[in-house]
A and B are shown apart, each in its own frame.
Chain A
Amino acid sequence: MSSYEAGFRVWRGDTEGGGLEDFKVEVHDGEVVLDIIHRLQATQAPDLAVRWNCKAGKCGSCSAEVNGRPRLMCMTRMSVFTRDEVITVTPLRAFPVVRDLVTDVGFNYTKAREVPAFVPPSDLGPGEYRMMQEDVDRSQEFRKCIECFLCQDTCHVVRDHEENKGAFAGPRFLMRVAELDMHPLDAADAEGLDRKTTAQDEHGLGYCNITKCCTEVCPEQIRITDNALIPLKERAADRKYDPLVWLGNTIRRRGR
């Protein structure tokens, strides 16, 4: 098994400030960036703060920026870099830093709370739900999300404009709205909640300019833009910007 010494530059610091620190560290065959960060912890920097859990790309904890790109450290193989390349690892740059590679991802939990939950149909009890596979396919794709928040991190709407954080839910949670709107048994309508309208009015769908960075960084390969955000924009357009649809709906309602 071959091994070599790699150059790493890791951001270390906290809310007071910090900077990139250089390390030389051993790398073995088949390792990923997270292995190297762990080796740094065990041998050179025992208090290097980093979040991680499963190390198998399933929990979405070890999000960071490797050579400037938002990635999961556990799924970034060292073999994608050349041996003489210096690898830069920084915390997510869209969120407030806590310490070293750990950031305050509270923004995402705040946004999660702002999306009204699934509304169960009032006429069905547990065990009575019948849904066809083709009807749940779309929402199932979105439920593959591991909440690594890389899409939220890379989205320029909030990454480059802190002031938009209040109005904009971010790709992850707009996708959640889409998931619920496409859920075959969600009964939000019955409670007077129109997710198509609120996507635009309350969750800031209009801020999205579909530049697809969320899709580019998604480690689960969810087609966030094409399958969630654009369909949601079209659904919002049905409600808000399409007089024909509006007219049709009005007539149908009258006719009932």
Chain B
Amino acid sequence: MATGTEPDLDPAGGVRGASRAAITAPHLRTDRWWLSPALTAAGLLAFVVYSTWRAFANADYYAAPYVSPFYSPCLAENCVPMKGGPNWEIFGSWWGLSPALLILIFPLGFRLTCYYYRKAYYRGFWASPPACAVAEPHKNYSGETRFPLILQNIHRYFFYAAVPVAAILTYDTVLAFRDASYAWGHMGLGTLVFLVNIGLIWAYTLSCHSCRHIVGGKLKHFSKHPVRYRMWQWVGRLNARHMQLAWASLISVAAADLYVYLLATGAFADPRFF
């Protein structure tokens, strides 16, 4: 009656288990299913390499009036002075490493536990699964039920942390409306880069699944909370683009940093608009 078969407990089996249709191929897909995980992995890898280099560099992250988003806020004594900028010496002088490491932990954690990035790296790096209906190479699988992956459940705390970080980057963007001698009311190409970046950072941050849950998703009766319902709908619309926003903001944050780097190393001069 199509309900009688006992689970086949050969863990090595999977799609090639004894009870399944006898097909030896791990998958029969004929399309280029590997392309998407390969691109994802390549893109993430490129960002990791770039950002590691930049984070440990501890140099070339400030070119008045722009501060690299990797180094903002700058929380140690060894920071380059930035007039009006977010350098608060909370960590004092004992911190000898790059001050980027102090703050990057938050956006890194936010993105690492993000529901989209999880999908991306589980598929791209872990091949768990590499693509839909393509057998994964692992013998055992416990998903996010055990340490360390059970920690993915704390995503919301990183969201809480990501909001002030985004606020500080917004502050940086406001500061970018100065010229190199800190006079207000000016704008250069860098300002534009910063504006685009902060727009994408906010869109990405607010499109977060945890945010969607917190603003309204947790409610049982939307009809009793019309304002939160509106917010939930709005966040939901953003959330539908979470993947695109994740990539766009990743690229834009790297681009903003690279822009500052180029200015700071003198490879390039910021074109001023006014």
Question: 0/1 per residue, B162-178, Cβ < 8 Å to A?
Answer: 00000000000000000
Q: Does A161 contact B (CB under 8 A)?
A: yes
- Binary CB contact string for chain B from 132 to 160 against chain A (1 if under 8 A, 0 otherwise): 11111010111111000110011110000
Contacts of B122 in A (CB 8 A): 209-211
Q: List residues 170-229 of chain A with CB under 8 A from any CB of chain B.
A: 182, 184, 204, 206-213, 216-217, 226
Q: Does A242 count as interface, using CB distance less than 8 angstroms?
A: yes
Say how far A219's CB is from chain B's closest CB, in angstroms: 14
Q: Does A26 contact B (CB under 8 A)?
A: no
Q: Is the CB of A109 within 8 A of B133?
A: no
Say yes or no for A140: interface residue by CB 8 A criterion.
no
Complex CA–CA separation, A233 to B142 (angstroms): 16
Q: A234-B218, A240-B153 are in contact. Are A159 and B209 (CB under 8 A)?
A: no
Whether B85 sits at the interface, judged by CB under 8 Å, is no
Checking B21, B129, B153 against A160 with a beta-carbon cut-off of 8 angstroms, the contacting residue is B129
Q: Is the CB of B21 within 8 A of A90?
A: yes
- B61 to chain A minimum Cβ distance, whole angstroms, is 34
Q: Is the CB of A210 within 8 A of B115?
A: yes
The minimal Cβ–Cβ distance linking A25 to chain B, given in whole angstroms, is 18
- Tell me, yes or no, whether B210 is within 8 Å of chain A by CB: yes
Bound state CA distance, A174 and B95, in angstroms?
47
Once the chains bind, are A207 and B144 in contact (CB under 8 Å)?
yes
For chain A, give the interface size range: 35 or more
Do B10 and A206 have beta carbons less than 8 Å apart? no
A41 within 8 A of B: no
Tell me if A67 is interfacial: C-beta within 8 Å of chain B. Answer: yes
Residues of B within 8 A of A204 (CB): 145
Residue of A nearest to B28 (CB): A68
Contacting B at CB under 8 A, from A21-45, are none
Residue B222 is within 8 A (CB to CB) of chain A in the complex:
yes
Tell me if A207 and B145 are in contact (CB < 8 A). Answer: yes
Contact A211 B133 (CB under 8 A): no
Complex Cα spacing A88 to B31, Å: 13
- Contact call A70/B14, Cβ cutoff below 8 A: no
Residue of B nearest to A189 (CB): B220
Query: In the complex, are the beta carbons of A237 and B153 less than 8 A apart?
Result: yes
CB of B272 closer than 8 Å to a CB of A: no
Query: Could you tell me if A237 and B136 are in contact, using CB atoms closer than 8 angstroms?
Result: no
Chain A residues positioned under 8 Å from B8 (CB to CB): 96, 162
Q: A161, B145: Cβ atoms under 8 Å?
A: no
Question: Contact: A216 with B19, CB < 8 Å?
Answer: no
Complex interface: chain A residues within 8 A of B133 (CB):
65, 68-70, 93, 153-154, 159, 213, 217
* 8 Å CB contact of B14 from A161, A207, A240: A161
Q: Are A157 and B11 in contact (CB under 8 A)?
A: no
Instruction: Determine if B144 and A11 form an interchain contact, defined as CB atoms under 8 angstroms apart.
Output: no
Contact call B223/A135, Cβ cutoff below 8 A: yes
- Smallest Cβ-Cβ distance to A207: which chain B residue: B143
Q: Which residues of the other chain, B, contact A85 by a CB distance below 8 angstroms? A: 30
Chain B residues with Cβ below 8 Å from A11 are 21, 23
Count chain B CB atoms within 10 A of each CB in A105, A135, A165 and give the residue with the most. A135
Q: Identify the 8 closest CB pairs spanning chains A and B, nearest first.
A: A106-B3, A68-B28, A68-B29, A206-B145, A207-B143, A213-B132, A132-B223, A234-B213
If A153-B133, A184-B220, A212-B119 are given as contacts, then 20 extra A-B residue pairs at C-beta distance below 8 Å, sorted by A number, are A19-B23, A67-B28, A68-B134, A69-B133, A93-B20, A93-B21, A103-B21, A104-B5, A156-B129, A159-B15, A161-B11, A161-B14, A161-B141, A162-B7, A184-B221, A207-B142, A209-B118, A217-B133, A234-B218, A237-B156
